[in-house]
Structure 1
């Protein structure tokens, strides 16, 4: 019996076309930690933010891997390496997604999260656990509903017990757990999208599931 925190993030877009701008993959990632680990993570990244501020670095926003300067990125990854947590990620090559699972963007979004959580949740949660699922604040009511539906479906179908849980939608800048999840998701998807595995190698020890969900598929639908 434990209190678990699951910080959720995604990467890529939901455009199903080849135009040189759309991402190849849509990825969903989760950072899981217990109560003690979460407070250690929050404390360390808060301290790092102050340390960087005194050096006149990272002053413009919260930690966000893609736009952050490399010096800030390096410092955040150095901090993450020393922290305890588990990271899981599922990547879906969008061109291999059958049209039947992407009739709308929210529906594909829900499928993507279901694919991810249906594998990860049975490894993460045990009977008696209390679970706080925290997702970055999403732009539309339909997207939030799709995410909530995916979580509910997984908990009902994939766990042989009822799990006490709360689901929160918070802004990225409000919690260092969300910012850490963003960094880990960015590190993995950068490897898959561009072949640059520098950041991935830094957090490799934190990754338990790194799945190319359609990896065995050979048919592309666009």
Structure 2
């Protein structure tokens, strides 16, 4: 919020909230400068959709459930304390029906992988949570590295990435 207010005073061209895909490079530079000055870690599960078998991509909730499962089983497990409360916050997507399907997917994955003492899934618009905006920037940097071999922003957060796994790296067949 401090950065946003500073940029407003500087008459920077701002959108409603920080979003790496649409922000100008000058804004992205300032956001990355701000977030790397803080303590955080990033865990990423890479899913190249065209390599996913047809039954995995029948709909968005099913596709993402695979990612949630492997991410929570391998990427996040060492950060979760099974004796404490866990709040899983993710950006809200689509219709109420889709949101319910995503909540069910997260719930099922949590039951299968961690069984923390108490947990809750919280879906909210990205603009409502600055941490989701930071997650968007980190995901964008990782995506640019993987899809475009553009590692400029990736290099800025590389030392914060504690887990980065290509779920279908072994696959060579593209289903579409």
Q: Distance in 2 between matches of 1:180 and 1:87?
A: 10
- CA gap of 1:119–1:198, structure 2 versus 1, over 3 A, is same
Mapped pair 1:83 → 2:38: yes
| 1:109–1:143 contact (8 Å) kept in structure 2 | no
Aligned equivalents of 2:69, 2:17: Cα separation in 1: 29
- 1:143 Cα deviation after fit: 2.9
Q: Deviations over 1:101-159 (max 9, x none)?
A: 22233322322222222222311201222222211121123432332223222221222
Contact 1:110 1:149 in 2 (8 A): no
Whether 1:120 aligns to 2:90 is no
Q: CA deviation at 1:58?
A: 4.2
Aligned equivalents of 2:26 and 2:130: distance in 1?
18
Conserved? CA contact 2:42–2:138, under 8 Å: yes
Q: Secondary structure at the match of 2:18?
A: coil
What is residue 126 of structure 2 aligned with on the other side? 172
Separation in 2 of the partners of 1:104 and 1:61?
29
Cα deviation digits, residues 42-83 of structure 1 (max 9, x gap): xxxx11111111111143321111111111100110111111
SS at structure 1 position matched to 2:47: strand
Task: Give 4+ residue runs of structure 1 displaced > 4 Å after superposition.
Answer: none
Aligned to 2:117: 163
Superposed, which structure 2 residues align to 1:106-117 within 5 Å?
106-117=61-72
Bigger Cα displacement from structure 2, 143-152 vs 53-62: 143-152
Alpha-carbon contact 2:69-2:113 (below 8 Å) kept = no
How many matched pairs?
Answer: 176
Following superposition of structure 1 onto structure 2, how do residues 26-175 of structure 1 map, counting pairs within 5 Å? 46-159=1-114, 161-175=115-129
1:2-37 deviations in whole A, cap 9, x for unaligned?
A: xxxxxxxxxxxxxxxxxxxxxxxxxxxxxxxxxxxx
Aligned 8 A contact 2:43 2:76 in 1: no
For residue 189 of structure 1, what is the aligned residue in structure 2?
143
Asked if 2 retains the 8 angstrom alpha-carbon contact of 1:96 and 1:217, the reply is yes
Calculate the TM-score normalised by the size of structure 2. Answer: 0.91
TM-score, structure 1 normalization: 0.74
Instruction: Quote the Cα distance in structure 2 between the aligned partners of 1:148 and 1:58.
Output: 35
